[in-house]
Chains A and B, each alone.
Chain A
């Protein structure tokens, strides 16, 4: 049985249909960074442990370092570039909240944190500190200690959805 080693595919990334020719065994992380120029997606651990490469596929957090590109064909994918990268334009409320709450230091984990946060905020469930921490359980930050990140997500949720319960500390 003959198998092609490369395929022309149409990816739905950040609301735009984009044609790309990808080797069949290529990872979504490499396609996004090297073929589509979406450099917000970071490679950290290569082992599905750090969450730096988190993107949204069909609205759900997925790790681009262990997602094959051919599995994302025909499914909407989102990276941080879908929020706002134009420095002259207004930032997304989530980005504003990260800036306002000093939720980044080196910034390497921030794109993954933002996408995990966006997924939980857009799920329209009532957020508590515990549920925010559970949503971030796959995202490692070695700088901030998470306090400002959790605070920023609660802040963004309040401004975007008007709901955030202060209670419910982590179990």
Chain B
């Protein structure tokens, strides 16, 4: 029998998580289907939804704080999200389905450590950081570092991800994201590419992050260097990216197909972001 506990304080939550087989639940979109299908090896689910501050979504002068309980729907409808992180807001408001967006959280999309995800490459392009809390204090982990490990392997025993810091990007920084999936936005991406550049070339701040290009969502430094040299280097950046890609092969696509689609999605995202940075679309 599985018990469900809803602690009302962080101290109580850490106490409950001292057990070996307890698991944390916030949105539950990944955890609860496994529980429903009797595939969850635990006897205690610790729901964090009543913890103080778990639904906080606020700004200061340099960043936004997105607490662990902020759903994709909440974030997409938050006015500053569209102003400062428009690509993230747009994707958070269209992926999956309304019911999933009303339950699934922005932070949960990172914490679950999936191999394929729309949110993680975009957060990598925006240099987001997770704040991990334990009974002994807090530490920060970049989304890039966290998502290099499958599942929750980056978390130590007794740790909870309390939320995420989302830095306000430079005014001239633009991010575009393109993805390919088998069921439009309702299914996970087979391949997705986020591209971020500044409008001033040579650009000091460039990001190319890919899901489906390697086992885990990750950045491609070689492609970033090419883009930083100028918009005319997109073909070289695409070639570097396809060379860098080392995709898995499964029922959703062969490795060769995925490598090809990495190039296609990169081309579309890069073209959009360069047009946007040059002011063509604004």
Contact = CB atoms under 8 A, between A and B. Distances in A.
Interface of A: 1, 3, 5, 23-25, 27, 46-48, 51, 54, 57, 60-63, 65-68, 70-71, 116, 119-120, 134-135, 137-139
A61 B98 CA distance: 7
Contacts of A27: 32, 36
Given A25-B3, A47-B37, A137-B184, A3 B98 contact: no
B220 to A, nearest CB: 28
23 contacts: A3-B3, A25-B2, A25-B3, A25-B35, A27-B32, A27-B36, A46-B36, A47-B36, A48-B29, A48-B100, A60-B73, A60-B98, A61-B102, A62-B99, A62-B102, A63-B99, A63-B103, A66-B29, A68-B47, A71-B47, A134-B98, A137-B185, A138-B186
A71 B32 CA distance: 13
By DSSP majority rule, is chain B's interface helix, strand, loop, or mixed? mixed
Interface in B79-112: 94, 96-100, 102-103
Nearest to B28: A66
Given A3-B5, A25-B1, A46-B37, A138 B99 contact: yes
A40 B235 CA distance: 55
Given A67-B28, A67-B32, 12 more contacts: A23-B1, A27-B32, A46-B36, A54-B99, A57-B102, A62-B102, A63-B103, A65-B36, A70-B4, A137-B186, A138-B99, A138-B100
Interface residues on B, range: 20 to 34
Contacts of A63: 99-100, 103
Interface string B242-265: 000000000000000000000000
Contacts of A139: 97
B27 to A, nearest CB: 9
B103 A137 contact: no
B33 A47 contact: yes
Interface string B56-96: 00000000000000000100000000000000000000101
